[in-house]
């Protein structure tokens, strides 16, 4: 079958992402929102590996990969080169990386890009683990998640630290636009990417994407799990323009779930639910969600 619509997608099929991959859906949504006139600098990570298995590529836009840590630096170079050639109006520059490439390994380059004020959209696909190398913990892994480097056992409860607040770090650098999105709501991603690309200056979007093998979920559950994360309050969806919160996605009363219901869907939290100390651990995670709900005013209705 050769269907024109499917054959002509900017992120072509045939890449080696797992069935039901949240990151693949997020990347497809971002590139379709951005359109063909973009240049992408990609960090090492699942997205880079599954889309460009040598000698083939799934991308139909100019795309470059250099190292794990320097997607933001490469993108900065491209942006400056476009300026020097007076061709900035011909293409937008996007840097994209996973959570490890942004929060840990690429943190310095990411900070530098924001500090220098390049006109770049930086997209972080947050799968909450190093999906590509076998699910090690990253700076964006949530509290008590089991990963291969934060294993749950008799004396440990999975990841001992909270998720790093990367959007706040970007805001404090003076990014013009900072937003969080979730693959559970692709229309929201589309809107935020289009809005970000209409502004000039450094922009940051963090997209929460479930990882099928990393989180221990079934391939058809990706969207359900992504939505449960948002509706539990653990992943607040907001937009910040020049430091001011201009919009949040409210949790509808009938869609609200507890963090326990969200954790039940995934194998990476199964030790929490089984253990006698589980109730205490769940209470701690629930308090993170409650803080988010309070901080961003996630309940109630939009004005």
Partner 1 sequence: MKQVFGIVVQPGTSREEKKTGWRVFRPKFKQEACIGCRNCHMFCPDGAVYRIDKKKFDADLDACKGCGICAEMCPVDDIEMLLERN
Sites for partner 1 among residues 101-140 (CB under 8 A): none
Among 35, 37, 56, 242, binds partner 1 (CB under 8 A): 56
Binding footprint of partner 1, residue count (CB under 8 A): 42
Which of 219, 209, 218 has the alpha carbon at shortest distance from 131? 209
Sites for partner 1 among residues 185-204 (CB under 8 A): 186-187
298 in contact with partner 1 (CB under 8 A): no
- Contact segment (CB under 8 A) with partner 1 among 20-28, 162-170, 173-181, 261-269 equals 20-28
Task: Give dist(CA 256, CA 226) in Å, integer.
Answer: 13
Between 56 and 279, name the residue whose CB sits nearer to partner 1.
Answer: 56
Between 25 and 234, name the residue whose CB sits nearer to partner 1.
Answer: 25
Angle of helix 22-34 relative to helix 222-232, nearest 10 degrees, comes to 80
Residue 176: CB minimum distance to partner 1, A: 28
CB 129 within 8 A of CB 22: no
Between 30 and 178, name the residue whose CB sits nearer to partner 1.
Answer: 30
Residue 267: CB minimum distance to partner 1, A: 17
Between 221 and 288, name the residue whose CB sits nearer to partner 1.
Answer: 221
Which of 229, 205, 184, 191 has the alpha carbon at shortest distance from 20? 184
Cis ω for the linkage preceding 55 (within 30 of 0): yes
Beta-carbon contacts of residue 79 (< 8 Å; ≥ 6 apart): 88, 93, 118, 119, 120
C-alpha torsion angle, residues 132, 136, 139, 141 (rounded to 10): 100
Residue 34: CB minimum distance to partner 1, A: 15
- Contact segment (CB under 8 A) with partner 1 among 56-64, 133-141, 160-168, 199-207 equals 56-64
Residue 31: CB minimum distance to partner 1, A: 10
- Contact segment (CB under 8 A) with partner 1 among 16-24, 115-123, 246-254, 258-266 equals 16-24
Beta-carbon contacts of residue 55 (< 8 Å; ≥ 6 apart): none
Among 35, 37, 53, 87, binds partner 1 (CB under 8 A): 53
- 5, 25, 53, 54, 119 from 49: Cα distances, Å: 25, 15, 6, 9, 26
Residue 183: CB minimum distance to partner 1, A: 9
- Contact segment (CB under 8 A) with partner 1 among 49-57, 118-126, 166-174, 233-241 equals 49-57
Sites for partner 1 among residues 219-248 (CB under 8 A): 219-224
Helix and strand tally (H, E) in the chain? 13, 8
Task: Give dist(CA 32, CA 194) in Å, integer.
Answer: 10
Paired strand residues for 38: 92
Between 178 and 228, name the residue whose CB sits nearer to partner 1.
Answer: 228
Beta-carbon contacts of residue 177 (< 8 Å; ≥ 6 apart): 195, 196, 199, 201, 203, 204, 205, 239, 240, 241
Residues that bind partner 1 (CB under 8 A): 1-3, 5-7, 9, 11-22, 24-25, 28, 51-61, 186-187, 218-224
């Amino acid at each position: 079958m050769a269907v024109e619509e499917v054959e002509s997608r900017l992120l072509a099929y045939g890449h080696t992402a797992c069935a039901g991959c949240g990151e693949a859906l997020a990347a497809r949504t971002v590139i379709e929102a951005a359109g063909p006139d973009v240049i992408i600098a990609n960090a090492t990570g699942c997205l880079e590996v599954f889309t460009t298995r040598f000698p083939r590529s799934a991308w139909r836009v100019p795309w470059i990969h250099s190292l794990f840590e320097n997607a933001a630096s490469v993108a900065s170079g491209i942006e400056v080169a476009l300026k020097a050639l007076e061709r900035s109006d011909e293409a937008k520059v996007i840097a994209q990386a996973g959570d490890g490439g942004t929060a840990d390994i690429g943190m310095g380059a990411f900070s530098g890009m924001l500090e220098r004020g390049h006109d770049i959209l930086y997209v972080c696909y947050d799968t909450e683990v190093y999906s590509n190398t076998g699910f090690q913990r990253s700076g964006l892994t949530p509290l008590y998640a089991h990963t291969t480097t934060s294993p749950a056992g008799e004396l440990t409860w999975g990841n001992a630290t909270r998720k790093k607040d990367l959007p706040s770090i970007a805001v404090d650098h003076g990014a013009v636009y900072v937003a969080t999105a979730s693959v559970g709501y692709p229309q929201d991603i589309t809107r935020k990417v289009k809005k970000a690309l209409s502004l000039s200056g450094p922009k940051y979007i963090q997209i929460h994407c479930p990882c099928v093998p990393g989180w221990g979920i079934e391939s058809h559950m990706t969207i359900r799990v992504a939505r449960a994360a948002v509706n539990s309050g653990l992943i607040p969806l907001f937009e910040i323009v020049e430091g001011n919160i201009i919009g949040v996605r409210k949790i509808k009363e009938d869609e609200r779930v507890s963090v326990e219901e969200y954790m039940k869907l995934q194998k990476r939290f199964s030790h929490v639910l089984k253990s006698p100390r589980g109730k205490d651990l769940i209470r701690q995670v629930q308090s993170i969600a409650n803080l988010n709900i309070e901080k961003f005013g996630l309940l109630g209705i939009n004005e």
